[in-house]
């Protein structure tokens, strides 16, 4: 079983169809490049939805994992292990906070943040038991658990999975006033993505995060930043909140924290917040395991050099400049920050899916979202030359797709 067709056919037969992958079967990868089972190479411009910020096969991360694999992989939290303290202390320091609660997947970390916020609301803020409310954003994406999809505004994510968990109020993303208007005495937290990734890399208006921070402080409401996708170097800073000088009360982290090797997530906050969780009230068999901590510590070490943030900043400026030059040439909008871009394709030319399929044939892997948007988020180790090459391929694809339109279509001509 080695051909792309055979593997896809067997996968489709024996796995739930909860994704709609591009028809490529990856076999190995290094840095920003992956190779499929037939030996074709592609530049990875998705990076596992930003889980591979440090590249495929990063030697510092692999070295830490391999060393740990030989020694100790799991204890459960029934015992301490010798990698736990360093990981938690290192991550707390990276975030400028006191404490870490390690989990595995992003959704688990978001669930953790919700539980912590509610408990903090009852025990510290004095909210009436079972009345806690959390303000969330229109267009949010925080994961796939039943509670999280309860407040999704995407019908595909939400519909058919009810009854919904109560206690969430959805407001417009980007409007601080909408948050202010939605706050009640029972509000315990505002949960937001500093940049909405799955919604199409939506960057809120300048000043928004700062205003939200002020409103939360004023009303004794926790600001919870889901930096699972935006954090850990992607936007050119360690956290996307830093671009506005904002420090949330809780960071929710995942994806790149596991270095593209193992699922590692965490909630990071000060002791007056995370301290509300007592033995028996929350946990995970695998959360904070030795392998995860070894990999997570290696990731923290890479971030502490500042090199990856700088690369995202510098190469991100190049990426955005080049993408903006495609406006009017098949692209109608470009958003994002650092090495992270949402590119809206002119729907008269092609869908996002069609562009991604064509990019794949040209050796670039990217993924569409919401019909006409494609997302570009290569590993932060991508070279300038490769990044330029990827944008050249996108340019080519847009030209090809527009040339294939029937004569007289109101697309690129003259623009
Ligand atoms: C902002 C954000 N939060 C949470 C999640 C969920 O993470 P996971 O898929 O690891 O559960 C994602 C995944 O895309 C995300 O982008």
Measured from the Cα of 255, ligand 1's closest atom is: 10
Record the tokens describing residue 240, joined without a space.
Answer: 């996307």
Q: Distance between CA 342 and CA 377 in Å, rounded?
A: 9
**CB of 226 shorter than 6 A to ligand 1:** yes
Whose C-alpha lies nearest to ligand 1, atom 7?
106
pLDDT of residue 405: 84
Record the tokens describing residue 60, joined without a space.
Answer: 């510092």
Whose C-alpha lies nearest to ligand 1, atom 3?
142
Pairing mode of beta strands 265-269, 99-103: antiparallel
Q: Is the dihedral of CA 204, 209, 215, 219 positive or negative?
A: positive
Whose C-alpha lies nearest to ligand 1, atom 13?
143
Q: Are residues 377 and 55 in contact, defined by beta-carbon separation less than 8 angstroms? A: no
Measured from the Cα of 254, ligand 1's closest atom is: 10
3-state class percentages of the chain: helix first, strand second, coil last, to nearest 5: 40, 15, 45
DSSP class of 241:
G
Q: Are residues 291 and 68 in contact, defined by beta-carbon separation less than 8 angstroms? A: yes
Pocket test for ligand 1, best of 248, 254, 286, 377 (most atoms within 8 A of CB): 254
Record the tokens describing residue 283, joined without a space.
Answer: 């946990």
Which segments in the chain show pLDDT lower than 70? 1, 408-415
Q: Dihedral (C-alpha) 233, 236, 238, 241: value to the nearest 10 degrees?
A: -120
Q: Distance between CA 329 and CA 402 in Å, rounded?
A: 9
Q: Is the dihedral of CA 193, 195, 197, 198 positive or negative?
A: positive
**CB of 251 shorter than 6 A to ligand 1:** no
Ligand 1 centroid to Cα of residue 229, in Å, is 7
Measured from the Cα of 196, ligand 1's closest atom is: 1
Which DSSP helix (H) or strand (E) runs through 334? strand 331-336
Measured from the Cα of 263, ligand 1's closest atom is: 10
pTM for this predicted structure: 0.97
DSSP class of 376:
E
The count of residues in the chain is 415
Whose C-alpha lies nearest to ligand 1, atom 10?
106
pLDDT of residue 406: 81
pLDDT of residue 370: 85
Sole residue written with tokens 């320091």: 93
Q: Are residues 222 and 190 in contact, defined by beta-carbon separation less than 8 angstroms? A: yes
Catalytic residues: 141, 226, 255
Ligand 1 centroid to Cα of residue 415, in Å, is 38
Domains contained in the chain, CATH given: 4-57+307-412 (3.90.1150.10), 59-304 (3.40.640.10)
Pocket test for ligand 1, best of 18, 103, 143 (most atoms within 8 A of CB): 143
Ligand 1 centroid to Cα of residue 262, in Å, is 14
Q: Distance between CA 5 and CA 57 in Å, rounded?
A: 26
Helix boundaries (H) for 169-276: 176-182, 208-218, 271-274
């Amino acid at each position: 079983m080695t051909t792309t067709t055979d593997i896809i056919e067997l996968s489709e037969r024996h796995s739930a169809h909860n994704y709609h992958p591009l028809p490529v079967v990856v076999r190995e990868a290094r840095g920003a490049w992956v190779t499929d089972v037939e030996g074709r190479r592609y530049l990875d411009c998705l990076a596992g939805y930003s889980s591979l910020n440090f590249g495929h096969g990063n030697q510092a991360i692999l070295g830490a994992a391999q060393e740990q694999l030989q020694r100790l992989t799991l204890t459960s939290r029934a015992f301490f292990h010798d990698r736990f303290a360093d990981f938690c202390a290192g991550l707390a320091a990276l975030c400028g906070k006191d404490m870490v609660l390690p989990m595995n997947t992003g959704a688990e970390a978001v669930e953790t943040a919700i539980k912590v916020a509610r408990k903090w609301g009852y025990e510290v803020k004095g909210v009436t038991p079972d009345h806690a409310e959390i303000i969330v954003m229109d267009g949010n994406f925080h994961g796939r658990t039943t509670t999280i999809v309860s407040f999704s505004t995407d019908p595909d994510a939400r519909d058919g999975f009810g009854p919904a968990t109560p206690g969430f109020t959805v407001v417009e993303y980007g409007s601080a006033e909408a948050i202010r208007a939605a706050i009640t005495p029972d509000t315990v937290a505002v949960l937001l993505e500093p940049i909405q990734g799955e919604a199409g890399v939506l960057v809120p208006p300048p000043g928004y995060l700062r205003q939200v921070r002020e409103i939360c402080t004023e009303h004794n409401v926790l600001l919870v930043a889901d930096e699972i996708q935006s954090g850990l170097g992607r936007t050119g800073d360690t956290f996307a909140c830093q671009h506005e000088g904002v420090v949330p009360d809780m960071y929710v982290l995942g994806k790149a924290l596991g270095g593209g090797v193992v699922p590692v997530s965490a909630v990071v906050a000060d002791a007056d917040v995370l301290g509300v969780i007592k033995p028996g009230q929350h946990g995970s068999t695998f959360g904070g395991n030795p392998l995860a901590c070894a990999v997570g510590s290696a990731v923290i070490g890479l971030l502490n050099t500042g090199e990856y943030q700088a690369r995202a900043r510098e190469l991100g400026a190049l990426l955005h400049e080049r993408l903006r030059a495609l406006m009017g040439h098949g692209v109608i909008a470009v958003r994002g920050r650092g090495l992270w871009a949402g590119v809206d394709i002119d729907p008269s030319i092609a869908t996002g899916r069609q562009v991604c399929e064509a990019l794949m044939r040209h050796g670039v892997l990217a993924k569409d979202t919401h019909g006409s948007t494609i997302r570009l988020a290569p590993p932060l180790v991508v070279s300038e030359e490769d990044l330029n090459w990827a944008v050249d391929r996108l340019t080519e694809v847009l030209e090809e797709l527009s040339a294939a339109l029937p004569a007289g279509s109101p697309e690129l001509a003259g623009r």
